[in-house]
A and B are shown apart, each in its own frame.
Chain A
Amino acid sequence: MTGRAKWVAAALAAVLVLSAAAMLIIKYAGSDGTVAEVYKNGDLVYSVDLSTVTESYTFTVGDDQDGWNTISVEPGRIRVSDASCHNHNCIETGWIGSGIKPIVCLPNKLVIKISGDADSGVDAISG
């Protein structure tokens, strides 16, 4: 190999390693299953990466007419802490932080789910 070809080979190798690293980071960093998404009437109204939360906070989605849910966020987890619905199934679901179980409030048409969780191991749940 000529001296110039060695330089080209070295540069190419460096580019390949860097691009491989970049692609793997892009693929896996965003899908570690900690982004919580809040949907109201089917529309995404709020999203937060639970792994970046350092302080607890609460907020409310909806209103008296459309039904409201108060949502609590803590480092690594999220739940419905209060709601206007009659059955409070959403509150009883408790905290979620990973996995496939969403929080669903049917009366208020609210869903909270953890997105990008590639490792749940199933395509759907029957039940």
Chain B
Amino acid sequence: MKRNPVFLRLSAAGLAVFMLICAVSGCSGASAGQSGSASFFAMDTIMEMTAYGEGGQDALDQVEHLIFTLEDLFSATDQNSEVYAANQGLKVALSDYTADILDQSLALCALTNGALDITVRPIMDAWGFTTSDYRVPDSTEIDALLPFVDYSLVTPSPDGTLTLPAGVQIDMGAVAKGYASDLAAQLLAENGINSAILSLGGNVMAVGAKPDGSNWRVGIKDPSGNTDYIGVVEVNNKAVVTSGGYERYFTGDDGQVYWHIIDPSTGYPAKTGLSSVTIIGDSGILCDALSTALFVMGADDALDFWRDNGGFEAIFIAEDGEIIITSGLKDVFTPSDTSATVTVASYDR
């Protein structure tokens, strides 16, 4: 074939334009093409995950399997779980996972001075939050149960067994999803995945950065339900966990709203003027635990806790709509309503 220089030049130009269009319209996208996704029900919630890069789907399949393994161990209602057996007063030989989550959560109970307490389950039962048969227990019933709400009564033995005192029950509900998200992130890393976004029923774990290198955009749920999210926080390699009264509640015969976040010191729903608390940090279990504990503390004590301990950032949404963020979020949090007042808390008291 005779070579035609003009034709060649036009072809080259055409190819270049074609590739440009491809790039713009995203018809290739190698990383997106090899991403994996998973969506399943576990730990009484829905879990949605996307992992980018080669092996993403295989890694998420492993994560799903791991989470079902953890659920089988930690469930308070599954009669075959270690937690269920312990709550029957039996001596339980703890698996490594259960020993580990107990260890970590007992440390967090101590750190928060009992604002998080994994032994609050008898009170949750009395309110019907464990069965959805909601009721308002009278004060004598609560007073009778409060002596059993004390995490210091949970003392795993050095031989790897746990025997709970009569009447004491544990519940991993406030920490299990955060713990699972830590193990999931670790498992993904072991599989060479450095970009993934996991939502364990609203407990978000952002692994690495987005495939294009930018930060993940995590919406913070609007506690009022009027909009999808009240603001966006941009993160990478962070857990973002929110606790709010809106997650589970009922209206009593007295017309009052009672929600599932119980103050372990009183046995009553924690009413501290907050609608939700979001914790952002490196550890999923820490964020999970603190989102509950700082909700119970209320904004003032919670901010003092943050000043004393550090190591995380927080977003508080008050019942009156006020948004308070800790200083580390100043440049990465954007409220959806740009006219909203955002108070930035500093380390100075």
Contact = CB atoms under 8 A, between A and B. Distances in A.
Contacts of B7: 5, 8
Contact of A123 (B17, B197, B242): B197
A23 B244 CA distance: 44
A12 to B, nearest CB: 5
A87 B228 CA distance: 21
B258 to A, nearest CB: 15
A127 B222 CA distance: 8
Contact of A27 (B27, B217, B221): B27
Contacts of A15: 14
B216 A5 contact: no
Contact of B46 (A100, A101, A106): A106
B14 A16 contact: yes
Please provide the 7 A-B residue pairs with the shortest distance between their CB atoms, ordered closest to farther. A127-B221, A122-B219, A127-B242, A126-B240, A5-B6, A23-B25, A125-B219
B39 A124 contact: no
A42 B39 contact: yes
B44 A122 contact: no
* Interface residue SS majority, chain B: strand
Contact of A23 (B22, B39, B198, B221): B22
A5 to B, nearest CB: 4
A104 B46 contact: yes
A122 B218 contact: yes
22 contacts: A1-B6, A5-B6, A5-B10, A9-B10, A24-B25, A26-B25, A26-B27, A27-B25, A27-B26, A42-B41, A100-B219, A109-B41, A123-B197, A124-B198, A124-B199, A126-B204, A126-B221, A126-B241, A126-B242, A127-B202, A127-B242, A127-B278
Contacts of B240: 124, 126
Nearest to A86: B132
A12 B197 CA distance: 42
Interface string B33-48: 0000001110011101
Interface in B1-56: 4, 6-7, 10-11, 14, 17-18, 21-22, 25-27, 39-41, 44-46, 48
Interface of B: 4, 6-7, 10-11, 14, 17-18, 21-22, 25-27, 39-41, 44-46, 48, 132, 197-199, 202-204, 206, 210, 216-221, 223, 228-229, 232-233, 240-242, 244, 247, 276, 278
A113 to B, nearest CB: 9
B39 A111 contact: yes
A100 to B, nearest CB: 5
B44 A123 contact: no
Given A123-B218, A125-B221, A127-B223, 14 more contacts: A16-B18, A19-B21, A23-B27, A27-B25, A106-B41, A109-B41, A121-B219, A122-B218, A122-B232, A123-B197, A123-B210, A125-B202, A125-B219, A126-B220
Nearest to B7: A8
Interface size class of A (residues with CB under 8 A): 20 to 34
Contacts of B216: 123-124
A45 interface: no
Contacts of A86: 132
Nearest to B20: A20
A99 interface: yes
B165 to A, nearest CB: 33
Given A16-B14, A16-B17, A42 B202 contact: no
A27 B25 CA distance: 7
